[in-house]
Amino acid sequence: MIAYLERFVHGNEAETREDDVSNLRKALDLQGSIDCESTGLASKDFGGMHAAKPLALIRPFGADDIVRVVRAASRLSNLTVAARGNGHSINGQAMADRGLVIDMRAMEDNPFNVVPSRGSSLPYVDVSGGALWENLLKRCVSEFGLSPRSWTDYLGLTVGGTLSNAGVSGQAFRFGPQSSNVTELEVVTGKGDTCICSETENSELFFSVLGGLGQFGIITRARILLQTAPDMVRWIRVVYAEFDEFTRAAEFLVTRAEDDSFDYIEGFAFVNSDDPVNGWPSVPLDSDQWFDPARIPQTAGSILYCLEVALHYRNSDRLSTIDTNVNRMLGRLGFIEQLKFQVDVSYMKFLLRVKRAEQQSMANGMWDAPHPWLNLFVSKTDIADFNRLVFKKILKVGVGGPMLVYPLLRSKWDDRTSVVLPRGEIFYIVALLRFNPSSPKGPPVEELVAQNQEIIKCCTKNGFDFKLYLPHYKSEEEWKRHFGNQWTRFVERKDSFDPMAILAPGQKIFSRNR
Ligand code: FAD
């Protein structure tokens, strides 16, 4: 088998013979399938800026197939293996140049097992690492009236893909990221071992894998905590002219007790203009709502801020009680009067809100254009300067899409995971979600990448306490700086669980010749 794989790996494409696929299949002895021809899916991602052709795309039947693939790769000196979730990375993180890419979605329905709450224990679901959050939501709510507690804004992402990063949305201030809401994992390590791990069993592997950028193992199953799903959501946006008033209100809300705040808290910066994408029209929640610019104070600058909140409720709740609670909480937030937008939608519709944007953006070709997105965590101590130097100067005309900015609480993150964060209890996520038409209709992608670099440089030059979220670096020096005093731990974890550096080569942290 090894001799065969050697020839396959070292041969070039022109030499790849017709019977190679069946030979490779025989060598790996998979229950699933292997494709060396139609590997296109695995050589691109949502970012649309990187391409790497793998040797083969593998659709595993189950964890045993993944074990076989990893073990086969370990017997060669240069073969790598990348798990591909839904390929929604920006910078080729799920790719493997001339390696083996495992399409995790091939096993997305296996397992799916909901366990209701027993006594004081929370209900949970055991779900495949290749499951889409969107499908998890639909099944949990419609079949069981239950729902995960912590989300991402967009749900066309896999469980394994987001847990390898963190998974952040407007519920994270209360429950932490998705990686704080998982109690057990089944993982195939870079040594080809299948391990069950949790806070108490194989805990080092458990915490390594969470936020581990795919470096230590492939998540084949995750146990995710659930809660009773609400029926409805009151979804509200309010506007601020001043950044310090916006941050004061947002920080006030994220630090309140659970029964004295909203269930979802986010925010975004937008341009003080009638630009349909970057400006006032991006704020109303419904087509029958109108943003009245006459309400903006004369003193406002080039950028305005929107606080976005939501409150869950049941169909059986009295609407007058919801009104009273919402008004009591809004009354303390000091936003611009009459720049308040509100709708009541079903819980499912609320959580699938970005799907509607996806459909629009697919229709106008923007979904398939390059997406040079930038995500950062910025400490509360530096967020005002970030606003002054980045939002108000570098990004004063917007990014062609949402510029999210909202506070998170460090105490809701477990510092035993592999994620690195700024210091201090409160930090902000900043997400620059660029949707531009491809050049020449839109700006050249190089210009946008250069603007991202300018922002990172600005943060570094001014000594901001910040970290990239969904980080992308090319040199070990940069990775060392990113992990800071956690770099040694990260390297030790690699040595323990993937010593030959087989996994997730697209992250460009370690190479097989290390
Ligand atoms: P992929 O891109 O396929 O993989 C990402 C990395 O994880 C790769 O290194 C891959 O090898 C590894 N990996 C994949 N599956 C596994 C597995 N089972 N086990 C181990 N490693 C694995 N993030 C947020 O936190 N909040 C958001 O609101 C949010 N919204 C987004 C909206 C859009 C439109 C997009 C494109 C991205 C968004 N993201 C968000 C970012 C997203 O969480 C990450 O890009 C995530 O990695 C994508 O998941 P994926 O399943 O497509 O993973």
* Probe residue for ligand 1, chosen from 88, 100, 421 as the CB with the greatest number of ligand atoms within 8 Å: 88
Q: Between the CA of residue 220 and those of 62, 77, 103, 180, what are the distances in Å? A: 8, 25, 12, 18
Q: What is the residue with the minimal CA distance to atom 34 of ligand 1?
A: 154
Q: Which of 11, 87, 6 is nearest to 52 (CA)?
A: 87
Report which protein residue has its CA nearest ligand 1's atom 20.
218
Secondary structure class of 196 (helix, strand, coil): strand
Q: Among this protein's residues, is 472 annotated catalytic?
A: no
Q: Is the CB of 165 under 6 A from ligand 1?
A: yes
Task: Kindly report, residue by residue over 292-348, the tens digit of the pLDDT.
Answer: 999 999 999 999 999 999 999 999 999 999 999 999 999 999 999 999 999 999 999
Ligand 1 atom nearest the C-alpha of 178 is 25
**Rounded distance from Cα 5 to ligand 1 centre (Å):** 30
ipTM here:
0.99
482 is catalytic: no
Q: Is 382 a catalytic residue?
A: no
Q: Please determine, for residue 281, whether its predicted confidence score (pLDDT) is greater than 50.
A: yes
190 and 217 Cβ atoms separated by less than 8 Å? yes
- What global pTM score does this model have? 0.97
92 Rama class: left (phi>0) / alpha (psi -120 to 50) / beta: left
If you take atom 18 of ligand 1, which residue's CA is the nearest one?
A: 160
The pick from 152, 215, 265, 354 for probing ligand 1's pocket by mutation, whose C-beta has the most ligand atoms within 8 angstroms, reads: 152
Residues 391-431: tens digit of each pLDDT? 999 999 999 999 999 999 999 999 999 999 999 999 999 99
- Does the C-beta of 374 come closer than 6 Å to ligand 1? no
| Helix intervals (H) in 341-437 | 347-351, 353-363, 380-386
Higher pLDDT, 20 or 380: 380
